[in-house]
């Protein structure tokens, strides 16, 4: 076997929880094969680079083995090489106001604009 459907492969290597999730991601434009948009039936071959946005995470994997049936996690990880960059660590900055403090003052809005947290003007 030299190629298989991308939705089936994503499900087989456990990047998607169900095959329907993989097909929906393909139809929504969240899956690309070698930087080209992929339909659910697009063929995937050894050496292809697959970019998939699955479960609010961008995954970049290179296909090393073609499988069509779902297998255990250790075997599934041998079927691709993960090129996904690591998730950024650190806590996000949120603007917090005391409850009942009312609307922000002009000075507060300037500070929020400097931090890039203001929703005005967007």
Cβ atoms of 45 and 2 closer than 8 Å: yes
pLDDT score at 93: 63
User: What is the overall mean pLDDT for the chain?
Assistant: 89
**H runs (alpha helix) in 2-120:** 6-12, 19-27, 73-77, 106-115
**Confidence bin at 87 (pLDDT 50/70/90):** confident
13 three-class SS: coil
Question: In the CATH scheme, what architecture does the domain 3-82 have?
Answer: Roll (3.10)
Where does CATH 3.10.290.10 sit in the chain?
A: 3-82
At 37, the pLDDT band (50, 70, 90 cuts) reads very high
């Amino acid at each position: 076997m030299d190629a298989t459907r991308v939705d089936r492969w994503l499900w087989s290597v456990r990047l998607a929880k169900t095959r329907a999730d993989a097909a929906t991601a393909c139809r929504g434009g969240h899956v690309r094969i070698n930087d080209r948009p992929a339909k659910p039936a697009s063929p995937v071959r050894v050496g292809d680079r697959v970019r998939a946005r699955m479960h609010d995470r961008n995954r970049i994997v290179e296909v090393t083995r073609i499988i069509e049936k779902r297998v255990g996690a250790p075997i599934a990880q041998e079927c691709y090489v993960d090129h996904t960059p690591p998730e950024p660590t650190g806590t996000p900055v949120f603007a917090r106001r005391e409850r009942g403090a009312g609307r922000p003052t002009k000075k507060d809005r300037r500070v929020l604009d400097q931090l890039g947290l203001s929703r005005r003007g967007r």
